[in-house]
């Protein structure tokens, strides 16, 4: 069953891992401190590849790796906000093991949250939600859904940057 799209949503297909990174890079160049990007989708659907691009667009120094076992990785950029790459896959809503999500989500950095549906109480109502899906072995579908005026404006800017429309 396909999701019901609003006029603000953007649904498209990435044809390779590198294209997924480039799309993330375009978004990363537009992100501001306090922004929250939620990434939902099955294992191997491109979430971490997209965050690698986001980091590239933000000017992050270093290699971005999946935080599946560390829960959160913090990356610093040369001139902008930090990127907090958070992965809630291995935790439950009540077992953060000393990690305080509020320190990273909606603060002075940008939060990219994988598996946000595992800790919904820590996700702000205003955010950009991206759902990833497998199309075939190399292609990935991405559905971007903004919640809140900031994220509607962000998605319009991303649409123009990535697709020229």
CB 134 within 8 A of CB 13: no
Give the model's pLDDT for residue 1.
47
CB 26 within 8 A of CB 157: no
Q: What is the CATH number of domain 11-91+101-163?
A: 3.40.50.300
Burial class (CB in 10 A: 0-12, 13-18, 19+), 75: buried
Q: Does the pLDDT of residue 93 top 60, yes or no?
A: no
Give the model's pLDDT for residue 148.
96
**Do strands 127-134 and 10-14 pair parallel, antiparallel, or not at all (unpaired)?**
unpaired
Work out the angle at residue 53's Cα, subtended by the Cα atoms of residues 51 and 57, and round it to the nearest 5 degrees.
115
Give the model's pLDDT for residue 140.
96
Q: Higher model confidence: residue 116 or residue 99?
A: 116
Give the model's pLDDT for residue 100.
60
Tokens standing for 12?
């498209």
What global pTM score does this model have?
0.90
CB 47 within 8 A of CB 134: no
CA distance 42 to 142: 12
Q: Give mean pLDDT, residues 63-76.
A: 80
pLDDT tens digit sequence for 24-36: 999 999 999 999 9
Q: Enumerate the domain spans of the chain.
A: 11-91+101-163
Give the model's pLDDT for residue 95.
54
Backbone dihedral region for residue 47 (phi beyond 0: left; psi -120 to 50: alpha; all else: beta): alpha
Burial class (CB in 10 A: 0-12, 13-18, 19+), 56: middle
Give the model's pLDDT for residue 5.
75
Give the model's pLDDT for residue 118.
86
Q: Does the pLDDT of residue 70 top 70, yes or no?
A: no
Give the model's pLDDT for residue 91.
63
CB 105 within 8 A of CB 82: no
Question: Which of the four pLDDT bands, split at 50, 70 and 90, describes residue 79?
Answer: confident
How much is the mean pLDDT over the chain?
Answer: 88
CA distance 94 to 107: 21
């Amino acid at each position: 069953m396909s999701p019901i799209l609003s006029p603000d949503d953007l649904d498209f297909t990435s044809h390779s891992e590198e294209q997924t990174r480039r799309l993330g890079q375009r978004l990363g160049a537009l992100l501001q401190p306090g922004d929250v990007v939620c990434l939902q989708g099955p294992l191997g659907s491109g979430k971490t590849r997209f965050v690698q691009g986001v980091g590239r667009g933000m000017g992050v120094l270093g290699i971005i790796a999946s935080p599946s076992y560390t829960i959160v990785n913090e990356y610093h950029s040369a001139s902008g906000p930090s990127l907090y790459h958070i992965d809630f896959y291995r935790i439950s809503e009540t077992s953060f093991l000393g990690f305080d999500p509020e320190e990273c989500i909606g603060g002075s950095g940008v939060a990219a949250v994988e598996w946000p549906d595992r800790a919904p109480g820590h996700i702000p109502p205003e955010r950009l939600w991206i759902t990833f899906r497998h199309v075939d072995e190399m292609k990935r579908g991405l559905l971007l859904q903004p919640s809140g005026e900031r994220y509607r404006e962000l998605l319009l800017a991303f649409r123009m940057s990535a697709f020229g429309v």
